[in-house]
Structure 1
Amino acid sequence: MGFSCFFVLFFLSISFHPIHGTPDLIQKTCKNTKYYDLCISSLKSDPTSPKTDTKGLAVIMVKVGISNANATNSYLSTQRLTSTNDTLMKKVMKECAEKYGFASDSLQNSVQDLGSELYDYAYMHVMAAADYPNACKNAFKRFSGLVYPPEIAVREEGLKHICDVVSSIIENLSAMI
């Protein structure tokens, strides 16, 4: 009888206390991404992340990407309005703002796809969102004399890194099926 009580108490104790060294879901998820630190900091900054599953973590990262794309769209729109009278620069800034708007829309579509567990489509939308900034950079290259602003290059890199994290999480979700 004493052994049985010990056995029950032992299993009860490990069920209420996680084993040390076991990575939590955020760490486990981020470990499989190219940008671990970005993944960790983004997911840990969201108060709902500890209460969700891997799909929920993907949605949180997509929302980080949407926020990035929207902020870049706003930045470009503001720059276009406050830039010099250079109509060509204004035209390119407008085109870039539109591309970041499309990136945001594409990421929003991926949230819907994740909700429906259509991981291939979600992945496709995330990859499209990651590619829209290239169209912005190419718009600057089309016109000699226009220099791709470093502020936009940093934002482009940020969105691409976020999308890379999301695509890695989606790949892991697809593998779980």
Structure 2
Amino acid sequence: MTNLKPIALILCTLFIATNANLIEETCMQTPNHGLCVQYLQADPHSSDSDVTGLALIMVNVIKTKANNALVKIHQLLQGSPEPGQKEALNSCGDRYNAILVADVPQAIASLQKGDPKFAVDGANDAAIEANSCENSFSGKSPLTNDNNSMHGVAAVTAAIVKLLL
């Protein structure tokens, strides 16, 4: 029994190294390698995921970012938004809500069914929604960082999902 421990340790190390290679190889094929590696390595499930699993992790990052943006939008609306920003903030709230109720569920369902085309559409739409939010402000947007972050994550997600097509 004691002789099995070193073998198990070697196999476990090999598996982790193989998945680190999968993350690296996958992220090299995205528009933002560093961002991709950052989010995938931060998720403990990435160590035993295939490319579909990595795509699902990134869809969950989109979901988290959309939720965070909505919290910020609600906080800004409860404060005293600058003149002309209330309408833009409401529009952004609608856009981020659409990401949560349409894009994310569509992407998850299509990845789980093995039909990734609709997951690409969902990720691309999340990027479009973030851009539209940013463009709804006439002047300085209080959501620039959130919108840029969503756009980057959505672009990486779409690129990963495209590897499955």
- In the TM superposition, what whole-angstrom CA distance separates every residue of 1:76-104 from its partner, at most 9, and x where no partner exists? 11101112484x32222111111111122
Q: Does 1:51 align with 2:48?
A: yes
- Structure 1 residue 112 displacement after superposition: 1.0
Change (3 A) 1:85 1:165: closer
- Matched with 2:3 is none
* Distance in 1 between residues matched to 2:96 and 2:149, nearest whole Å: 12
**How many angstroms apart in 2 are the aligned matches of 1:37 and 1:104?**
25
Cα displacement string for residues 9-67 of structure 1 (whole angstroms, at most 9, x for unaligned residues)? xxx9xx9474xx97621111111111111111101111111111110000001101110
Alignment correspondent of 2:88:
92
Aligned identity (percent) is 24
Question: Distance between the aligned counterparts of 2:82 and 2:92, measured in 1?
Answer: 18
Q: Say whether 1:167 aligns with 2:158.
A: yes
CA offsets per residue over residues 90-131 of structure 1, 9 Å max, x none?
Answer: 222111111111122312320111111121111111111110
Of structures 1 and 2, the larger Rg is shown by: 1
1:41 alignment partner in structure 2: 38
Gaps of 5+ in 1: 1-11, 142-146
Normalised by the length of structure 1, the TM-score is 0.78
Structure 2 gaps, min length 5 = 1-6
- Kindly report the root-mean-square deviation, in angstroms, between the aligned alpha carbons of the 2 structures: 2.2
The separation in 2 between residues aligned to 1:118 and 1:153, in whole angstroms, is 33
What amino acid is aligned across from residue 125 of structure 2 in structure 1? A
Distance 1:100 1:158 in 2: 13
What is the CA–CA distance in structure 2 between the aligned matches of 1:148 and 1:104, rounded to whole Å?
Answer: 25
Quick one: distance in 2 between partners of 1:72 and 1:42? 18
Which deviations, in whole Å up to 9, do the C-alpha atoms of 1:122-148 show, x marking residues without a partner? 11111111101222223223xxxxx23
Deviation beyond 2 Å, 4+ runs, structure 1: 15-18
Q: Is 1:115 matched with 2:112?
A: yes
Aligned residue pair count = 153
Give the secondary structure class of the aligned counterpart of 1:118: coil
TM value normalised by structure 2:
0.83
Q: Secondary structure at the match of 1:173?
A: coil
